[in-house]
């Protein structure tokens, strides 16, 4: 059975939904327009889903409504209950679902090709469709197993430290070569063993690519898996002859790849090494734990309040510790009090702060921090030399000068904030015993102008606000 071209109105509807998806991505590029971007995305998806249901005999109306109700209900409950600190692992979990959906669609197309209109006159699946099917199931399986590992690491259910297998690069390259070779052979022989071997090897390589990655590199992994999920959807769009899936998948895949490239530049990582897997792993292992005991100064909430009241400019650098403590709201309240007292307050956001791209931006937006007070690294880094106070709350790796000086450090070469140039540094963290996600000690702790504020970030900010108001 050959596939027939859809009616013109269907193509137009899919084109309109594609335009809405493009507008959604444009809106999501800025916190100020993110809500509008979300609405565009929802409208585009509604058009695409309704058009597909009208033009395809998928299931009965009660079954469709039931499936939408179940899926929508799970999504609604998840969105209501999920903590902002758990957002990175939620995103990884969603990526895994996209990957598994691609695997299931490819499997359904292989087992029942007639229903998908991909059977040629000779009774076999079209060679082109076999390529699309092979690529779709390979990318989908890689996305699924890779996202599951990322979820387990981000959720703390699996060690975040890299797990290095002997000859892992040889194994990875060999497995990828075998997958590509089998996809090529699949075009001339559609035996079931070939299809299921591709599937099994793809699940395996997804696991092997992500398990060696740890430390501060996880935000790039989340972004890259996002890209993989898009390409999996696009490949399945070709199999299903669905223009909307092709457009959406290409948009997600390309935007995820571009974001990964931007983040790699921000971390001074090689883009190719991200795709290969295990980037930065050897260094992360050798990074070790905190160094020997060195003299440091402990400060109090009263010290921080007094010094910031006397300051002309304060730059706040938030990190994952702020997210864990849910301190963004009281932090914004602290900044508001300082601004009322005539102090200039700005927020400095590193591209890889937190556990996923834009993590800190989302938290600050949730706390209603004005967008014009939030600055990216390249826009504000030069201002630390003139700043009276650098207030670091829960960040570590992104302010570590070892990235500029220590060639043995796992974060060497990563652009970091020049907080060491500020006149006074307040560093909020739970204890001196902990090190950052990359497992590296920080010389900023021991500088003459640094006062360590050792406490829960939310409790410390609450105490500072009380001291500012007295």
Residue 204's φ and ψ, nearest 5 degrees, are: -65, -45
Residue 392: CB atoms within 10 A of its CB come to: 28
Cα angle vertex 352, ends 349, 358, to 5°?
A: 65
The contacts of residue 395 (CB under 8 Å, 6+ apart) are 317, 318, 319, 320, 321, 322, 350, 353
Q: In angstroms, rounded to a whole number, what is the distance separating the alpha carbons of residues 303 and 318? A: 19
Q: Which of 393, 324, 277, 286 is nearest to 156 (CA)?
A: 324
In order of 58, 69, 78, 90, 368, the CA distances from 82 in angstroms are 32, 19, 6, 8, 19
- Confirm if 346 and 312 have CB atoms less than 8 A apart: no
CA atoms within 13 A on the CB side of 67: 9
Edge-to-edge strands, sheet with 450-454: 374-376, 344-349, 313-318, 389-393, 424-429, 450-454
Give DSSP secondary structure letters for 295-319. Answer: ---B--HHHHHHHHHH-SEEEEEE-
- Confirm if 461 and 393 have CB atoms less than 8 A apart: yes
Is 397 in the active site? yes
Q: In which residue are the tokens 């499997």 written? A: 107
Q: Which of 309, 314, 277, 271 is nearest to 426 (CA)?
A: 314
Q: Give a three-class secondary structure readout of 154-213.
A: HCCCCCCCCCCCCCHHHHHHHHHHHHHHHHHHHCCCCCHHHHHHHHHHHHHHHHHHHCCC
Q: In angstroms, rounded to a whole number, what is the distance separating the alpha carbons of residues 353 and 140? A: 28
Residue 70: CB atoms within 10 A of its CB come to: 10
Residue 389's φ and ψ, nearest 5 degrees, are: -135, 130
The contacts of residue 369 (CB under 8 Å, 6+ apart) are 328, 332, 335, 347
Residue 72's φ and ψ, nearest 5 degrees, are: -65, -40
Residue 267: CB atoms within 10 A of its CB come to: 26
Catalytic residue among 397, 418, 420, 441: 397
Q: Is residue 96 helix, strand or coil?
A: helix
Q: Which of 283, 277, 317, 324 is nearest to 155 (CA)?
A: 324
List the catalytic residues: 397
């Amino acid at each position: 059975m050959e596939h027939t071209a859809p009616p013109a109105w269907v193509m137009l509807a899919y084109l309109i939904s594609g335009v809405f998806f493009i507008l959604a991505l444009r809106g999501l590029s800025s916190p100020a327009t993110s809500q509008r971007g979300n609405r565009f995305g929802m409208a585009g998806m509604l058009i695409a889903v309704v058009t597909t249901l009208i033009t395809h005999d998928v299931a009965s109306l009660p079954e469709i409504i039931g499936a939408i109700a179940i899926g929508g209900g799970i999504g609604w409950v998840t969105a209501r209950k999920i903590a902002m600190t758990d957002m990175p692992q939620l995103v990884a979990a969603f990526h895994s679902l996209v990957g598994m959906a691609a695997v299931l669609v490819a499997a359904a197309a292989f087992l029942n090709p007639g229903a998908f209109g991909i059977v040629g006159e000779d009774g076999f699946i079209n060679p082109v469709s076999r390529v699309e099917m092979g690529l779709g199931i390979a990318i989908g399986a890689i996305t699924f197993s890779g996202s599951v590992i990322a979820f387990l690491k981000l959720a703390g259910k699996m060690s975040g430290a890299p797990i290095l297998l002997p000859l892992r690069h040889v194994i990875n390259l060999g497995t990828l070569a075998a997958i590509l070779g089998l996809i090529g052979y699949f075009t001339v022989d559609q035996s079931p063993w070939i299809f299921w071997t591709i599937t099994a090897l793809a699940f395996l390589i997804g696991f092997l690519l992500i398990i060696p990655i740890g430390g501060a590199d996880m935000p790039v992994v989340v972004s890259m898996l996002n890209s993989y999920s898009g390409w999996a959807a696009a490949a399945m769009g070709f199999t299903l002859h669905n223009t909307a899936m092709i457009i959406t998948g290409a948009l997600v895949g390309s935007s995820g790849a571009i974001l990964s490239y931007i983040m790699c530049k921000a971390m001074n990582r090689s883009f190719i090494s991200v795709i290969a897997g295990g980037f930065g792993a050897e260094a992360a292992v050798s990074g070790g734990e905190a160094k020997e005991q060195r003299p440091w100064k402990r400060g109090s909430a009263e010290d921080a309040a007094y010094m910031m009241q006397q300051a002309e400019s304060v730059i706040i650098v938030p990190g994952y510790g702020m997210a864990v403590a849910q301190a963004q709201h009281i932090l914004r309240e602290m900044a508001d009090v300082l601004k009322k007292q005539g102090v200039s307050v700005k927020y400095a956001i590193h591209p890889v702060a937190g556990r996923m791209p834009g993590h800190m931006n989302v938290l600050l937006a949730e706390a209603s921090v004005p967008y014009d007070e939030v600055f990216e690294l390249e826009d504000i880094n030069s201002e630390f030399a003139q700043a009276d106070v650098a207030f670091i709350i829960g960040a570590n790796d992104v302010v570590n000068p070892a990235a500029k000086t220590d060639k043995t450090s796992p974060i060497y070469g990563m652009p970091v904030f020049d907080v060491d140039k500020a006149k006074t540094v307040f560093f909020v963290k739970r204890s001196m015993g902990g090190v950052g996600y990359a497992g590296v000690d920080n010389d900023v702790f021991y500088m003459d102008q640094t006062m360590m504020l050792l406490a829960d970030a939310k409790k410390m900010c609450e105490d500072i606000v009380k001291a500012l108001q007295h």
